[in-house]
Amino acid sequence: MNGVWGVARHSSRHPEAPARAGVSKDARTVDEAFRRHGTEALATLIRLVGDFDLAEEGLQEAFAAAAVAWRDAPPANPRAWLITVGRRRALDQLRRRIAFRARQDQLEAEAEIEHQAAPEDVDEAAAAFGDDDLLRLVFTCCHPALSLEAQVALTLRTVCSLSTAQVARAFLVSEETMAQRLVRAKAKIRAAGIPYRTPPRELLDERIQGVLAVIYLVFTEAYAGDPRQSLAAEAIGLARRLAALLPGRGAVQGLLALMLLHEARRPARWNAAGDLVLLEDQDRALWDAGMIAEGLALVEPALKAQTPPSPYAVQAAIAALHGQARTAAETDWRQIVSLYAVLMRLSPSPVIELNHAAALAMVDGPAAGLRMVEALTARGSLAGYDALPATRADLLRRLGRAGDARTAYEEALRLARHDPERRFFRRRLAELEAR
């Protein structure tokens, strides 16, 4: 991820947050239960009832019931209570469907749910991880039989607790369009018989990579261009959950460290007007020191967890070098260039090669970086990617080739997807015109 882009916002609630009539202690109790147990309870209900929509409806009704039932005293185990009541309400929904449609397959579904073990009181520490039901849900949402777009949308809606309207805004589509996409994705899960379980051991590592790719896409893409509306918090929260559920996995630790170290720079990445501030110009006193410390602590274990290291761990090591530099001048660019060379061997891609070129320019000068960028441009592998002409323009500007730089900035402006980027390129063009 380019060090210039990316910001954060906290998630909203899901399936539909329990209504709060005022701010009474009862409402706060239900609201706290929603924040602490909502996602895990939904994950367990999906396993028990075998249907996303039934589980969501059952949980929503369970929270409505809790607003009344918990007035005298909340239960000792709110999560188990919610799952038990939600399961009963889902069964009621199914019975109503059966009475209306009289379908044999739904009778069989009811029998299957009845045979599922209802949750008993469970240890709160175990409940915090949803008895692995959350992990099952993550792997179901990120199943390779679904399109990448559907995987991201389902993950945001079901695991990250965003409303349908919020997911729609992330994809820049109407709420109705997104609702239809989610319905189709859930129907695909039912029709294809996608199992609600973690993959077998021999496929686990491969499937984890798919889950991590979805999380990173959420972090880097959704609302990346608006400092007020990012999904970084959702992505980081999901990575933290995975790290707790799958401890000691270098790829998971590496991705979490990478996102934390990038997100720590968010307060300095945008000025008061919402314009981009380049890494070398940022006020590092504004960086989140706690987030940097958390990310740094994960980098070494991530690098040592497997041989060769995960590409996410190597990217995190690069971000760590930026995070440790007290000033831009103190950045260890030679080490960064070396790490990019390692990354190119582990996971070669045109984007990594472009970042490698930018780092090389900081060590051997802009001409050296430009040669790599020109080779990338000639291959056409990054056609349509605004960071390519933007990097080329910066190197040409540093070499004093104002005319060529202006042409490259104009191309970057044409390709830019977000207003902050467009304003940045216009500022650069104005600076060149003023020379």
H helix intervals, 15-172: 25-49, 52-69, 78-101, 104-115, 124-127, 133-141, 148-154, 164-171
How far apart, in whole angstroms, are the C-alpha atoms of residue 412 and residue 408?
A: 6
Beta bridge partners of 270: 276
What is the chain's mean pLDDT, rounded? Answer: 83
Quick: pLDDT tens for 5-57.
Answer: 222 333 333 444 444 444 455 567 778 887 788 888 888 888 888 888 888 88
pTM: 0.74
Position 110 scores a pLDDT of 61
CA angle 163, 184, 16 (to 5 degrees): 20
pLDDT of residue 116: 55
Q: Which residues contact 303 (CB under 8 A, 6 or more apart)?
A: 250, 254, 309, 313, 314, 317
Whether the CB-CB separation of 219 and 231 falls below 8 Å is answered with: yes
More confident residue, 16 or 194: 194
What is the H or E stretch that residue 404 is in?
A: helix 402-415
Q: Write down all domains in the chain, each with its CATH number in brackets.
A: 1-129 (no CATH), 373-435 (1.20.58)
pLDDT in tens, 233-246: 888 988 998 898 88
